[in-house]
Amino acid sequence: ARQGLLVTRQTLWDQLDALLGHLEPTVEALHAYVLSADVIQADETRWPLLGTEGASKWHAWAVAREDAISYRVLGSRSRKAAAEVLGGFTGTAVTDGYAVYEALANSRDGPGFTLAHCWGHTRRKYVEAAESYPKANEMIDRIGALYAIEARADEARVTLDVRGAMRRTESRPIVDDIYRWITTEPALPKSLLGKAIGYTQRLWPGL
């Protein structure tokens, strides 16, 4: 319009549709490259629809490796959608506690990947509980100690073998202590602290 041209919505749509044909092979190649990694991160979030404030039937899915990320915008966050995003991935996927990932990982007809759950999502549950239940800070401190070990490894730019040794000798005792805490700390199941403990217990194999 600034150039004095009248361009209809249909023309713009046709241009986007034509562009899709050029970009789609690159998009698919990028997605395949991400899924070829041994370890990826996977997550999903609501994708807003224009003109539907506060409501959406779409979800943006993301899979990422160290040097690349791929997105899919799909009509749901169902197991079927997760299978479409994760394709034939057979490595380790770092995820939150969304049950669809676990169902897909354990499915006989699924990709058959291994789940590694996210300590950041776990920590968030205790942060939410801490205001009403100060005991939650004990878990926040324990998770913080795990973070500190990883930060030291990052700062020293250690090899994967050295990082693995640090995890076995330094992180493992903390993880064992966390397990002792979540299996002995009394809390009402429906309280924020109880829900945080229950969440941690449910995801423990992946943590």
Element (H, E) at 63: strand 58-65
DSSP 8-class letter at 116: E
Helix runs in the chain, H state only: 9-35, 79-86, 99-105, 119-130, 136-156, 160-166, 172-184, 192-202
pLDDT above 70 for 51: no
Q: How far apart are CA 70 and CA 62, in angstroms?
A: 6
**Side chain identity at residue 162, one-letter code:** V
Q: Which phi and psi (to 5°) does residue 40 adopt?
A: -130, 165
pTM: 0.78
CB atoms within 10 A of CB 123: 20
pLDDT above 90 for 52: no
Q: How far apart are CA 121 and CA 41, in angstroms?
A: 13
Residue range 63-82: average pLDDT? 93
Q: Which phi and psi (to 5°) does residue 37 adopt?
A: -75, 155
The pair of structure tokens assigned to 129 is 């509980």
Give the model confidence (pLDDT) of 115-152 as tens digits.
999 899 999 999 999 999 999 999 999 999 999 999 99
